[in-house]
Amino acid sequence: MRAITITITEKVEETKLSNFIVNINSGDDVVAIKISDNMVFIAVEGDCALGYVEAVAANCFNDYEIENLK
């Protein structure tokens, strides 16, 4: 199990966060929870799921930061 946070650094992109969470939560091996207006906590099972999350984030947001938690 791996855990990360994604922080959206541009105010304009905060509107995309809810759609991102819905998209990410459609997978069986990923759980995403919004923890603030510009931050989401994500837990994944394995590197493939993490790669998927990173790819979706890169496609969805122009400016964001990923922090590895575990």
Tokens 């990410």 found at: 24
Token representation of residue 35 = 């923890």
- pLDDT at position 33 is 96
Count of domains forming the chain: 1
Residuewise pLDDT in 10s, the chain (70 residues) = 999 999 998 887 778 898 999 999 998 899 999 999 999 999 999 999 999 999 999 999 999 999 999 6
- pLDDT at position 10 is 83
Phi, psi of 45 (to 5 degrees): -100, 100
Which structural domain, as residue segments, surrounds residue 59? Answer: 2-68
Whichever domain contains 52, its CATH number is: 3.30.70.870
